[in-house]
């Protein structure tokens, strides 16, 4: 064993045993972040905070929630909402938090796309981020089932039904996922397990991996500039704080994040107290009833765009049924963001407004996603169905065109 | 400055999306029904300007109504248990103690004249069909006799206690204003809706047993505990006033509540379905103020730290 001298301070005592001084240097005070960033780079910290908020509020809910079709609805709507002191507050925080976290996720994701932060060494950051997106989606979906209201039931029914479209194994797969032929008690209990145990545990690992993947390539900056971090860090440590292009994670980077968090929390708690209906759909306050299909079935807002891609293809083409086309498009939509780094064929890392073709592509994508989201909620009848079809098709075309557009752009910029 | 521009872009994208999936989608999926009509102006069979005679009304009431209805406020107790009368008539006839207060006068008179048209359930009880509405129509009575009964019902019905009265009652009985007000509203609910609907979170079960009501209505009337949240007060206001307008062909009758009684029922549904409303509205500003202070301090700290690097 190494020799230990008597520690002069508490800090030293811990440092001898856990190496806390070095650890905090590596993780905080000498973890370098570029200075040239705006508040969009605070989204990651917001996500971390929101994850904590969901974890804590979720643990409180877990103390009273009962995963049983006969008890679930009342355990949430009566026990938690009426009986338990401040149970309503925890439920509102959890439900609104789950919804708002997706807003932050989307801003985070599209910031990455806008600034080209997924390529030239940052591929693993992007991939681990997409893994988190998948996990959060699964978490949101499984959680939405738990209150066992009408939307819980019917969204679960519609989404699990999707797997039935997979050739050969589809039918058996649906039964395997549900644990029964229809959405039932076994379905609720297993999604409960996923929601409070398996997915959160995997999420913790994925978050750690996401952070780790940031270490070597470092985060991007507003100009997409590459520079030597060691040189800039030395400058900073030597006292040239103004001249250096980097800042330490603590306290400089986080100081700004705390301010952004403060503003965000005002927005968040405003929703928690005064405008929570968008996250706790009124229809879900009718108890699940397998015999009574609601007039309108729609998923939570953050799934609307991909749901609309699923519904968009509603008629037969090339001898393939509309339903199968929709499923194929849906699979495409859910997988395509993952390969973003390889669809963008241009080596330029720069904000979209400095990239002549990509700029147009980016804003078209944003418009298309908004149209998909809005029409994903509206009933798919009449003209709505055609808007849905057009925007679903545009979505696919946009992504198929991306390699071509970026190749041309690279040529143009290279020729200059 | 640049950051504010970016914020403006992000905010406008979010707002457009929000507008589409919330106000606009709601507007498309739940079109506005007709506004509530608390005069029930479609009902014109009885001349309600006639002045009723209370004593004569009581006599008609005893002769015609007490076989089925109780009116405990004036000493007429029920003839049978709730379950037995439900078995006899299909649904337990309500106690009429509050009838004179909670039903709108024109509706009440026309209901006695012909219950089926007043409640708009003709589709379930077509003229010369095999099904007969359990309560007979009193169209053979003259308008004067009907108005006598109405006058009698109005005279025996205990008046609603106003806010100040409730407050002093609460003080006297050492209970909260919320509790006494909820108790008063519950009485209105029991009289008007309680024969069909449960209010589980308020501890009320329908007076008609489940199997009986199921046979009578063709469907089980839902437990209304959470309907203030799932439907919202705006919808309820229109729906209770005229169910057919919102759920075409529904078995739920038009109950004919006066504007005030209907407000009391909706208030009761809020008190049971969303009891933490006051707590929420009181806590909200405090939390927001706290966060505002946090944000300001965070901003000042950020300014201090960043002044060294910029
Ligand atoms: C480990 C952390 C978590 C735990 C222990 C947890 C636990 C719970 C419990 C017990 C419920 C049922 C009570 C209710 O419906 O309000 C619930 C609901 C829900 N959870 Fe979580 N949760 C966690 C994290 C998350 C995360 C990260 C998300 C976001 C993606 C999420 C999304 C949801 C949703 C959408 C609901 C339905 C809310 C409602 O309709 O009221 N949860 N959660």
Residues A212 and A320 reside in one and the same domain: no
Residue position matching structure tokens 């989201």? A373
- With cut-offs at 50, 70 and 90, classify the pLDDT of residue A56: very high
B160 and B204 share a domain? yes
| A261, A286, A373: residue with CB nearest B17 | A373
Place B310 in a pLDDT band, splitting at 50, 70 and 90.
Answer: confident
Q: Is residue A13 part of a domain?
A: no
User: Residue A18: what pLDDT?
Assistant: 94
**Distance from C-alpha of A222 to C-alpha of B230, rounded to nearest angstrom:** 46
Domain identity same for A245 and A186: yes
**CB-based contact, A292 to chain B, within 8 Å:** no
For residues B96-120, b (16+ Cβ closer than 10 Å) or e, as one string?
A: bbbbbbbbbbbbbbbbbbbbbbbbb
* Amino acid A229: pLDDT: 95
The full DSSP string for A101-168 is HHHHHHHHHHHHHHTTTTSTT-HHHHHHHHHHHHHHHHHHHHHHHTT-BHHHHHHHHHHHHHGGGSTT
Token reading at B259: 């504007």
Residues A284 and A329 placed together within one structural domain of the fold? no
Rounded mean pLDDT of A377-384?
91
Q: What is the residue-averaged pLDDT of chain A?
A: 95
Compute the distance between CA of residue B116 and CA of residue A364 in angstroms, rounded to an integer. Answer: 59
Tokens of A107: 């801003």
Over residues A43-71, the mean pLDDT reads 98
Q: Residue A321's pLDDT band (boundaries 50, 70, 90)?
A: confident
Residues B306 and B232 placed together within one structural domain of the fold:
no
Same domain? For B115 and B192 the reply is yes
Q: Are residues A253 and A191 in the same domain?
A: yes
Segments forming the whole domain that contains residue B24 = 1-31
Q: How confident is the model at residue A182 (pLDDT cuts 50, 70, 90)?
A: very high
pTM: 0.93
In this model, does residue A41 exceed pLDDT 70?
Answer: yes
- Contact yes or no for A182/A290 (Cβ under 8 A): yes
What's chain B's length in residues?
Answer: 310
What pLDDT is recorded for position A382? Answer: 87
B238/B117 same-domain check: yes
- Taking Cα atoms as reference points, which of A271, A132, A294, A272 lies closest to residue A213? A132
Q: Using the predicted structure, report yes or no on whether residue B33 has a pLDDT greater than 80.
A: no
Does residue B49 lie within any of the structural domains? Answer: no
Is residue B117 domain-shared with residue B164, that is, in the same domain? yes
Is A27 domain-assigned?
no
Its domain, for residue A177, covers 34-221+228-297
| One domain for residues B304 and B215 | no
Q: Is the CB of A149 under 6 A from ligand 1?
A: no
Find out whether the peptide bond into A251 is cis, omega within 30 degrees of 0. yes
pLDDT band at A1; cut points 50, 70, 90:
low
Q: Does B126 map to a domain? A: yes
Answer whether residue B150 is part of any domain. Answer: yes
Task: Give the pLDDT score at A5.
Answer: 87
ipTM value:
0.94
pLDDT at B130: 83
Q: Are residues A281 and A376 in the same domain?
A: no
- B67 within a domain of the structure (yes/no): yes
Q: For residue A129, give the CATH number of its domain.
A: 1.20.810.10
- Count the neighbouring beta carbons within 10 Å of the beta carbon of residue B210: 12
pLDDT per position as a tens digit, B114-152: 999 999 999 999 888 788 999 999 999 999 999 999 999
CB A91 near ligand 1, within 6 Å: yes
**CB neighbourhood size of B140 (10 A):** 8
B199 beta partners: B204
Please check whether residues B226 and B301 belong to one and the same domain: no
Tell if the CB–CB gap between B288 and A266 is shorter than 8 Å. Answer: yes
Same domain, A138 and A232: yes
User: Does residue B210 sit in the same domain as residue B286?
Assistant: no
Residue A275 lies in a domain: yes
Q: Give a yes or no: residue B39 inside a domain.
A: no
Does B222 sit within 8 Å of A286, measured CB to CB? Answer: yes
Radius of gyration, alpha carbons of chain B: 26
Domain count, chain B: 3
Mean pLDDT of A355-380: 97
Task: Give the pLDDT score at A3.
Answer: 79
DSSP classification of residue A68:
S
Q: Using a CB-CB distance cutoff of 8 angstroms, which residues of chain B are in contact with residue A270? A: 284, 288
CB-CB contact of A140 with A75 (8 Å): no
Residue B37 lies in a domain: no
Shared domain for B268 and B287, answered yes or no, is no
Of B225, B299, B306, the CB nearest to A252: B306
* Token pair recorded at residue B170: 């609460």
- Mean pLDDT over A323-337 rounds to 94
């Amino acid at each position: 064993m190494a020799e230990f001298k008597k520690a002069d301070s508490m800090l030293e005592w811990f440092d001898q045993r856990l190496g806390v001084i070095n650890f905090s240097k590596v993780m905080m005070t000498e973890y370098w972040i570029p200075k040239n960033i705006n508040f969009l780079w605070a989204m990651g910290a917001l996500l971390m905070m929101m994850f904590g908020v969901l974890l804590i509020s979720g643990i409180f809910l877990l103390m009273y929630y009962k995963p049983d079709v006969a008890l679930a609805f009342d355990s949430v709507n009566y026990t938690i909402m009426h009986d338990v002191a401040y149970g309503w507050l925890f439920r509102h925080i959890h439900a609104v938090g789950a919804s708002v976290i997706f807003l932050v996720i989307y801003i985070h994701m599209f910031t990455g796309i806008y600034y080209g932060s997924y390529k030239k060494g940052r591929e693993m950051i992007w991939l681990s981020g997409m893994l988190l997106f998948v996990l959060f989606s699964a978490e949101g979906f499984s959680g939405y089932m738990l209150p066992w209201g009408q939307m819980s039931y019917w969204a679960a029914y519609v989404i699990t039904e999707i797997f039935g479209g997979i050739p050969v194994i589809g039918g058996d797969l649906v039964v395997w996922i549900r644990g029964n032929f229809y959405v039932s008690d076994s379905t609720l209990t297993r999604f409960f397990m996923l929601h409070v145990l398996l997915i959160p545990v995997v999420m913790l690992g994925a978050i750690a991996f996401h952070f780790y993947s940031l270490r070597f390539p470092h985060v991007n900056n507003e100009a997409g500039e590459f520079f030597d971090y060691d040189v800039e860090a030395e400058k900073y440590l030597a006292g040239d704080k103004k001249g250096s292009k980097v800042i330490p994670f603590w306290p400089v980077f986080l100081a700004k994040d705390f301010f952004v968090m403060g503003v965000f929390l005002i927005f968040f708690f405003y929703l928690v107290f005064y405008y929570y209906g968008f996250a706790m759909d009124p229809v879900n306050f009718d108890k699940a009833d397998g015999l009574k299909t609601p007039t309108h079935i729609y998923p939570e807002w953050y799934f609307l765009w991909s749901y609309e891609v699923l519904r968009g293809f509603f008629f037969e083409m090339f001898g393939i049924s509309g339903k199968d086309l929709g499923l194929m498009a849906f699979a495409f939509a859910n997988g395509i963001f993952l390969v973003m780094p390889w669809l963008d064929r241009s080596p330029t890392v720069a904000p979209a407004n400095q990239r002549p073709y990509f700029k147009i592509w980016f804003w078209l994508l944003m418009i298309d996603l908004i149209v998909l989201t809005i029409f994903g909620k509206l009933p798919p009848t009449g003209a709505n169905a055609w808007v849905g079809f057009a925007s679903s098709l545009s979505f696919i075309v946009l992504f198929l065109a991306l390699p071509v557009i970026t190749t041309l752009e690279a040529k143009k910029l290279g020729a200059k | 400055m640049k950051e504010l521009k970016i914020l403006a872009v992000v905010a406008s994208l979010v707002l457009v999306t929000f507008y589409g999936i919330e106000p606009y989608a709601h507007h498309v999926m739940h079109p506005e029904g007709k506004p509530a009509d608390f005069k029930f102006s479609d009902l014109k069979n009885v001349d309600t300007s006639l002045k009723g005679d209370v004593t004569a009304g009581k006599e008609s009431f005893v002769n015609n109504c007490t076989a089925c209805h109780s009116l405990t406020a004036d000493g007429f107790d029920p003839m049978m248990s709730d379950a037995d009368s439900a078995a006899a008539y299909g649904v337990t006839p309500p106690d009429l103690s509050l009838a004179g207060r909670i039903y709108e006068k024109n509706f009440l008179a026309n209901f006695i004249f012909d219950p089926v048209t007043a409640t708009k359930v003709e589709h379930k009880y077509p003229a010369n069909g095999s099904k007969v509405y359990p309560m007979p129509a009193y169209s053979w009575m003259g308008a004067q006799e009907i108005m006598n009964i109405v006058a009698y019902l109005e005279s025996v019905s205990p008046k609603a206690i106003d806010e100040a009265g409730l407050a002093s009652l609460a003080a006297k009985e050492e209970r909260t204003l919320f509790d006494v007000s909820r108790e008063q509203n519950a009485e209105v609910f029991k009289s008007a809706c309680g024969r069909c609907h449960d209010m589980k979170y308020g501890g009320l079960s329908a007076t008609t047993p489940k199997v009986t009501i199921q046979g009578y209505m063709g469907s089980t009337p839902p437990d209304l505990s959470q309907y203030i949240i799932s439907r919202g007060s705006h919808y309820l206001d229109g729906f209770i006033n005229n169910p057919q307008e919102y759920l075409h062909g529904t078995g739920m009758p038009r109950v004919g509540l006066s504007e005030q009684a209907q407000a009391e029922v909706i208030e009761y549904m809020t008190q049971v379905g969303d009891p933490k409303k006051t707590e929420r509205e009181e806590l909200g500003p405090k939390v927001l103020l706290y966060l505002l202070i946090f944000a300001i301090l965070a901003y000042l700290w950020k300014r201090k730290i960043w002044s060294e690097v910029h």
